Amino acid sequence: MTNIFLSYARGDDVQRNDPATSWVQRLARDLTAAKFDVWFDRLSLPSRGLTFHQEIRDAIAACDRLLLVVGPQAASSEYVQQEWQFAWFEAEKVITPILRQGDYPLAIPELALLHAEDFRDDSQYAVHLKELIRILNDPPSTLGKLIGVPSLPAHFLSRTDRLIPLRDAVRSGLDTAAPFGGTAARQQFHGIAGTSKQVGVHGMGGIGKSVLANLLAHDREIRKAFPDGIVWVGLGSVPILADLMRRVHKDLGGDGAFATEHEGKLKLKELLADKALLLIIDDAWRREDVDAFDVLGPRCRALITTRDAGLLTSLGGTHHVVELLTDAEALRLLAVAADKPLAELPAEAHQVLQHCGRLPLAVALAGGLVVAGTPWASLQKAFERHKLEFLENEQSAEPQHRNLWKTIEISVQALPDEEQTRLVELAVFPEDEAVPEAAIATLWEQTGNLDDLDTQQLLIKLKRRSLIQVTASGTADSSSIGRVSMHDLITITASVAPSRCMSKSRRWTTSC
Ligand SMILES: Nc1ncnc2c1ncn2[C@@H]1O[C@H](COP(=O)(O)OP(=O)(O)OP(=O)(O)O)[C@@H](O)[C@H]1O
Ligand SMILES: [Mg+2]
């Protein structure tokens, strides 16, 4: 039996000829009669407050499909958005939208390309119900596997206006790409009939490039377009290219048996020649590192993220820039990161936002401090007191960097000294590499006498505060939370912050 999670906004749930009864209830009844198991009554949840509860996540995770009743209220509802976003990006569920009110294209842009049965006219209900039942019984399409793709942040903004053009750019020309041989097979990065096979994303550190690339990787339309998988390669400033190539080769079913980068490139080219795959090259610093992965077959595409716009210019292809959040986005991110409904954010939250400078990393960290129990007013005061002087920092010209560093420093200093020390110790691991929990446990056992449980608890705490990211290990080991990575801006700030009061000769000082 197919399990369906029915997502809707109460405000859209009107039965035109009989306002007292629920249209959604009628739909649920009819689908149940058609042998679907329908989960829809989220209002009956005992702890259904205003935030996104575990019960909802569990219910969505247990369903086969999410049926979304689209209307103006659903399009603007935070709850509905959390439901479909969780289903789409994280729980890998098929979403079937239906239009109850409003117009085409659907008011939820991410879903606008999906077919939505038209349920606006009640006199046509039976016809559309029959078609909906047929659609719901269709087997779901094959999705490309996510290979090495990090987990999404616990709370995320889908940043639609950037995601959709990126999705279009990445898929462009795919339909015309010949699967095997011919001219198309000889095309490498630069494309088919004028279409580029690589798409670049640039923007300053902490602006959300990697999260955007990650959202794209999780997008079902992208996963349908690349049935052989979405492969993530994190480069960073000093990548060990041969190791990364070996990992990709093995992950795609090869033997990874090559000694040099040159050999690796040839073998990867051979392997990808007939695959439909998206390669995400995250955090590129140098042209030659990107060139090492110039291995794409005609049905492959590459997405490259970098802080360096010049690097993308030298590569050619289409470019997208990630800019600061809008005020509205920053507010929404602060609400989700603080685990509070938007409407309940106090006036101080707006002032906190001003200090964060609309930078996602800074906003996420500020939200993490609230989750950790810091009252809004104290947070605001901390920002006001904390006057940083950036003396010779090459990034100091940008006011948003000052905001970022200030937020990172406040977040680090909100931890007890011992925990700050543990966080700083994570800098011993190679930059940009996700470290297994077990390796951290070994380190912290030596340095801080922490046992496995202490380590796990501290990692969970750091994750909740957005100071680290955790990627599920993908193994059956349920005792591990996964692999851990830390944003390099946090590594740098965390390393400097605790000692800054002792050494005034640092390249920047604070008013400590
Ligand atoms: N869309 C988003 N939703 C929620 N949080 C986000 C989003 N974008 C960014 N963040 C927060 O900001 C942090 C930094 O984002 P991200 O790692 O994507 O930056 P970046 O642009 O890739 O930086 P860098 O150039 O240093 O690699 C994330 O770890 C997350 O906490
Ligand atoms: Mg990044």
Q: What is the pLDDT of residue 504?
A: 30
Instruction: Choose which residue among 160, 211, 214, 235 to substitute to test ligand 1 binding: the one with the highest number of ligand atoms within 8 A of its C-beta.
Output: 211
- Tell me the three-class secondary structure of 150-196, residue by residue: CCCCCCCCCCHHHHHHHHHHHHCCHHHCCCCCHHHHHCCCEEECCEE
Instruction: Report whether residue 469 contacts ligand 1, using a CB cutoff of 6 Å.
Output: yes
Residues with CB under 5 A from ligand 2 (ion): 210, 283
CATH of 3-137, one of 3.40.50.300, 3.30.980.10, 3.40.50.10140, 3.40.50.1240: 3.40.50.10140
Q: Which residue has the tokens 């290219």?
A: 241
Q: What is the pLDDT of residue 464?
A: 80
CA dist., res. 88 & res. 65, Å (int): 10
User: Taking a C-beta distance cutoff of 8 angstroms, is the pair 14, 74 a contact?
Assistant: no
pLDDT of residue 398: 54
Residue whose C-alpha is closest to residue 85's, from 214, 215, 206, 211: 215
**Ligand 1 centroid from CA 462, angstroms:** 16
**Residue 282 pLDDT:** 96
**Closest ligand relative to 334 C-alpha:** 1
Helix (H) or strand (E) holding 32: helix 23-33
User: How far are the Cα atoms of 126, 167, 192, 291, 399 from residue 309, in angstroms, in the given order?
Assistant: 54, 20, 24, 16, 20
**CB of 284 closer than 8 Å to CB of 174:** no
Residue nearest to atom 30 of ligand 1 (CA): 361
Pick from 154, 78, 157, 85: which is nearest to 360 by CA? 157
Alpha carbon nearest to ligand 1 atom 3, residue:
156
The whole-angstrom separation of Cα 240 and Cα 328 is: 40
Distance 394 CA to ligand 2 centre (A): 19
Task: Report the 3 state secondary structure along 306-340.
Answer: ECCHHHHHHHCCEEEECCCCCHHHHHHHHHHHHCC
Residue 157 CB–ligand 1 contact under 6 Å: yes
Q: How far is the CA of 395 from the centre of ligand 1 (A)?
A: 18
Nearest ligand, measured from the Cα of 153: 1
432 C-beta closer than 6 A to ligand 1: no
Cα 21 to Cα 10, 28, 105, distances in angstroms = 12, 13, 28
Query: Cα–Cα distance between 460 and 470 in angstroms, integer?
Result: 9
Pocket lining: 206 vs ligand 1, CB cutoff 6 Å: yes
Q: Is 179 exposed, middle or buried (0-12, 13-18, 19+ CB in 10 A)?
A: middle
Query: SS3 of 15, please?
Result: coil
Query: Vertex 463, ends 75 and 332: CA angle to 5°?
Result: 25
Per-residue pLDDT of the chain (512 residues; tens, 9 = 90+): 889 999 999 888 876 666 667 899 899 999 999 999 998 765 545 444 445 567 788 889 899 999 999 999 999 888 888 899 889 888 889 999 999 999 998 888 878 878 999 999 999 999 999 999 999 999 888 899 999 998 888 778 888 889 989 999 999 888 655 443 334 333 333 333 345 689 999 988 889 999 999 999 999 889 999 999 999 999 988 899 999 999 999 999 999 999 999 999 999 999 999 999 999 999 999 999 999 999 999 999 999 999 898 899 998 888 999 988 999 999 999 998 888 888 889 999 998 888 887 889 889 888 888 888 888 988 888 877 765 443 334 444 455 566 677 778 888 888 899 999 999 898 888 766 789 999 999 999 999 999 999 999 999 888 888 888 877 655 555 677 788 888 777 777 676 654 443 333 333 233 32
Residue identifier of the C-alpha nearest atom 18 of ligand 1: 208
Nearest ligand to the C-alpha atom of residue 361: 1
Residue 371 has what pLDDT?
Answer: 84
CATH code 3.40.50.10140 region(s) in the chain: 3-137
Task: For residue 510, give Cα distances in angstroms to 167, 309, 417, 419.
Answer: 43, 31, 18, 21
- Domain 146-321: which topology? Rossmann fold (3.40.50)
Taking Cα atoms as reference points, which of 300, 304, 301 lies closest to residue 290? Answer: 304
Q: Is the CB of 264 under 6 A from ligand 1?
A: no
Q: Using CA positions, which residue lies closest to atom 15 of ligand 1?
A: 208
Q: How much is the pLDDT for 269?
A: 95
Instruction: Measure the CA–CA gap between 301 and 261, rounded to whole angstroms.
Output: 21
Peptide bond connecting 105 to the previous residue in cis, omega within 30 degrees of 0: yes
Task: Using the mean position of ligand 1's atoms as its centre, give its distance from the Cα of residue 466 in Å.
Answer: 10
Q: 142 Cβ partners below 8 Å, 6+ apart? A: 224, 227
